[in-house]
Structure 1
Amino acid sequence: MPKILLIEDDALIQKAVELKFKKEGFEVVCSGDGKEGIEKLMSEAPDVVITDLMLPYTSGLEVVSAVRAITDRTIRIVVVSGMGQEQVVEEAFELGADDYITKPFSLNELAIRIKKQLKS
């Protein structure tokens, strides 16, 4: 069963995404801030990290950078954010993000994109 680490500070979005992926058969580990998310990255060994950009303590861009710097596994990273500015999207990809989805988003679209990332 693939494991997702979801780093999202909006409790409603976190719960909705968590429930969707549990129904899809994933194991989901949640974090409400970037600092805790990076700690869980080390202890949980996820297959996919879904991170918001605007997070308490540590930004989503710092999370993307940390995933690439401190893991030797191929972890897929999907950034979900209300910030659709081109330079922010570009920076996320330069740091190692595999996909970027702008809020608001469809849970079904997110699930399709995650499954596609796991196949590649």
Structure 2
Amino acid sequence: MLGKKIVVAEDNSVFLMVIKLKLEQEGYELFLAEDGKKAIELIEKHSPDLILTDIMMDYVNGLEIISHVRNKLKKQTPIVVFSASGQEEIVLKAFEIGANDFLSKPLSVNELLVRVKKLSR
């Protein structure tokens, strides 16, 4: 089984706290980033077992995070992206460059948990 370190990149602080509470209850260790730049720093520092990222964020977006992990760091860490509905083109691009899963916003935290458990087996 993979470890339980997760980097979460999400610019909505309320949503970030909801994810944090739910996943910490399940025993995951979370590293939170409110933008993509911070997310990349956390990924490089902690080598997480899973990455959860919003696509639309300031400074560095979710696609850039995926690209950084796959191309610069050469890691196969599972990556789940979130995006508001109606952004199909961006979501397809995310899969093309290496995302493993996708959830549309607004998210169901329970659905997120199921997917996290599946990817961290």
TM bin, normalised by shorter chain, reads: over 0.9
Distance in structure 2 (CA, Å) of the matches to 1:75 and 1:117? 10
Which of 45, 53, 56 pairs up with 1:54? 56
Kept in 2: contact 1:84–1:102 (CA 8 A)? no
SS at match of 1:4: strand
Q: Which has the higher contact order (CA 8 A, sep 6+)?
A: 2
Query: Where does 1:1-120 land on structure 2 (aligned, <5 Å)?
Result: 1-119=3-121
- Distance in 2 between residues matched to 1:84 and 1:78, nearest whole Å: 17
SS of residue in 1 equivalent to 2:96: helix
Cα distance in structure 1, aligned partners of 2:4 and 2:32: 14
Distance in 1 of aligned mates of 2:25 and 2:72 = 30
Take 1:23 and 1:114, find their aligned partners in 2: how far apart are those partners? 13
Identity %, equivalent residues: 41
Tell me how far 1:83 sits from its aligned partner: 4.2
Kindly indicate whether the alpha-carbon contact (under 8 Å) linking 1:53 and 1:61 is maintained by their aligned counterparts in 2. Answer: yes
5+ unaligned residues in a row in structure 2: which ranges?
none
The one-letter code sitting in structure 1 at the alignment partner of 2:54 is: D
CA root-mean-square deviation: 1.2
Unaligned runs of at least 5 residues, structure 1: none
TM-score, normalised by the number of residues in structure 2: 0.93
